[in-house]
Structure 1
Amino acid sequence: MGLRLHPVAPRQGWLWITRAFALWRQRPLALVGLFVFFLVSLLLLALLVPGLGGAIGLGGLPLLTLGFMIASRSLLDGGPVHALQLIEGLRVPDRSRRRAQWTLCAGYMLGAMLVISLADWADGGQFEALQRALAENQPGGKGAAQVNAILADPRLAWGMLVRLGLTVLLSVPYWYAPALVHWAGQSAGQALFSSTLALWRSRGAFLVYSIGWMALMTAIGTGAMLASALLGAGQLLGVLVMPLALVISTVFYVSLWFGFADSFGARPVGSATTIDA
């Protein structure tokens, strides 16, 4: 695939989202199933390799982004969506590309573990304590007071800022790196640099893209809470959260292909197929 960095207009950031939703509507169950398969694989890995499974799972995130780009490109070209696309980057005959993908996975795992460690240090373990308290909390019990005390601790807010900021910094070079290794044959280092450069040159589009996702998630969350309140069914919110989270996460990963295609001029195999919302 001949790839070349292209300028991207800011308005394209919103189109990446709308086109992702339009593509998801073509095969919703297959695409959500792909994401669920990855989550289940992580869970099994954590159970089979206690202590290390979670860290190894973090290293699989670059393969997840590439797998969804491959699946989205295949779907645009009228092809299938299947689980093996998640590891297609490791199944190519070119040994140098496989080695570069493994390097990206290892680097992301180490980077993510560093982010978690620094964030835990910054908040003094309050984020982990909050997760435990929420899991154990019983309505009207003393757990509610514990949750409120943790939320009032300023270290939690500081830790969340550190966690968010470092995650964004780690994500930038990895945004397109697996795809650039897979389709352009770049080395791991070159792909990380090219991805960073692409996001910088398309920063207007990515700003619109980020604002669009935040607005959508806020609107969906508010709508779910209002529906739960109007129907007087507090449990409805819990029922809605999981499927909504799966759909939003899936569509987010689908949208990565459209950003990559606009930034590097990539197109589906058979034609210059596009999809409009």
Structure 2
Amino acid sequence: MNPVTPSTGLLWVKRGFILFRQQPAEMLTLFFTYMFIVMGLGLIPIAGEFLPLMLIPVFSMSFMQACDQIENGVKVYPNLLMLGFRSEALGRLLTLGIFYVLAVALAIFVSSLVDGGALFDFLSSQKPIDPKVAPDERIFLGMLVAVLTYLLPLMAFWFAAPLIMWKKMSVGKALFYSFFSVKRAGKAFLLYGAAWMLIAGILPALVSVMIAVIFGDPIVVMLTMLPMSALLTTILYCSFYPTYLDIFGKPEISIQA
């Protein structure tokens, strides 16, 4: 494991933008294809409630591998999304996905102890959200508690998938190394997270206000924010790769789809 300085966290964000800029259309195509698959999975009765979450480790390796290919000058194609399913590590990645589901369930359960289940009701509600009705203030408390509860599992999950697939670690070993690697580079991750909260929070807010002032139409605002959200999310995914690269080095196994 390579040591990193606190300022490295800001470089991870910058390098995410650089990676995206090299193949923007390809990465956006990969992202939208992934979203289409996730929406399809969500239509499956019962299983659709947890399958998208369980498959995050499998699909996340598609984006990690895509960034590796960009660095190597290899073009990225949507079929890269099937990479994890063809890997000998699929079983371990699915096991990791089960831990994802359990961790999220735990976070929501803990939040329900302080918000009376308001967050769970909000997430599970099938009713359309009325923008004129202010959300129950308990939901924000529940979200805060859920996020804080999920922080420790997130540290264990952060590098687990690439360690399983690229370094052929067991699930337990990958979770262990991921947790302590993130802990060791804690200051860099704090800056990294803070930078992304500013980018994903303030930038869309400023743009939405400008569009609202210019057009005065909430539909135009929504149509503007959706592609911006997709763009920023894709760049965020690209920034995951440099965090791995600076701590564990170049992937030993480079698999092309």
Fold equivalence (TM over 0.5): yes
Change (3 A) 1:110 1:267: closer
Q: Supply the distance in 2 between the matched residues of 1:237 and 1:135 (Cα, whole angstroms).
A: 18
Moved more, 221-230 or 171-180: 221-230
- Name 1:30's counterpart in structure 2: 26
- Name 1:254's counterpart in structure 2: 238
Larger radius of gyration: 1
Moved more, 117-126 or 54-63: 117-126
Match of 2:115 among 110, 118, 123: 123
Q: Supply the distance in 2 between the matched residues of 1:252 and 1:166 (Cα, whole angstroms).
A: 22
- Name 1:218's counterpart in structure 2: 201
Change (3 A) 1:268 1:237: farther
- Name 2:92's counterpart in structure 1: 100
Q: Supply the distance in 1 between the matched residues of 2:129 and 2:209 (Cα, whole angstroms).
A: 26
Match of 1:52 among 42, 47, 50: 47
Q: Is the CA contact 2:12–2:192 (under 8 Å) kept in the aligned structure 1?
A: yes
SS in 2 for 1:220: helix
Q: Supply the distance in 1 between the matched residues of 2:252 and 2:26 (Cα, whole angstroms).
A: 19
Structure 1: where are the runs of 5+ without partners? 139-143, 271-277
Report the identity percentage: 27
Does residue 14 (structure 1) correspond to residue 5 (structure 2)? The answer is no
Match of 1:67 among 57, 62, 68: 62
- Name 2:83's counterpart in structure 1: 88
Change (3 A) 1:133 1:29: same
Does residue 175 (structure 1) correspond to residue 167 (structure 2)? The answer is no
- Name 1:196's counterpart in structure 2: 179
Does residue 166 (structure 1) correspond to residue 142 (structure 2)? The answer is no
Q: Is the CA contact 1:13–1:205 (under 8 Å) kept in the aligned structure 2?
A: yes
Report deviation, 1:72: 0.4
Change (3 A) 1:42 1:121: farther
Code of the residue aligned with 2:39 in structure 1: it is L
Q: Is the CA contact 2:12–2:243 (under 8 Å) kept in the aligned structure 1?
A: yes
Code of the residue aligned with 1:137 in structure 2: it is D
Q: Supply the distance in 1 between the matched residues of 2:92 and 2:130 (Cα, whole angstroms).
A: 45
* Cα deviation 1:140-184 (Å, max 9, x = unaligned): xxxx4xx33x43x4x323211122112322211110101001111
Q: Supply the distance in 2 between the matched residues of 1:115 and 1:207 (Cα, whole angstroms).
A: 21
Does residue 137 (structure 1) correspond to residue 137 (structure 2)? The answer is no
- Name 2:228's counterpart in structure 1: 244
Q: Is the CA contact 1:122–1:159 (under 8 Å) kept in the aligned structure 2?
A: yes
Moved more, 75-84 or 255-264: 75-84
* Cα deviation 1:223-254 (Å, max 9, x = unaligned): 21331243142333211111011011111111
- Name 1:141's counterpart in structure 2: none
Q: How does 1:266-277 map to 2 (within 5 A)?
A: 266=250
Code of the residue aligned with 1:126 in structure 2: it is A
Structure 2: where are the runs of 5+ without partners? none
Code of the residue aligned with 1:194 in structure 2: it is Y
Change (3 A) 1:134 1:22: farther
Instruction: Give the superposed CA RMSD.
Output: 2.4
Change (3 A) 1:51 1:123: farther
What TM-score do the two structures reach when normalised by structure 2?
Answer: 0.88
What TM-score do the two structures reach when normalised by structure 1?
Answer: 0.82
SS in 2 for 1:43: helix
Q: Is the CA contact 1:115–1:163 (under 8 Å) kept in the aligned structure 2?
A: yes
Q: Supply the distance in 2 between the matched residues of 1:40 and 1:133 (Cα, whole angstroms).
A: 20
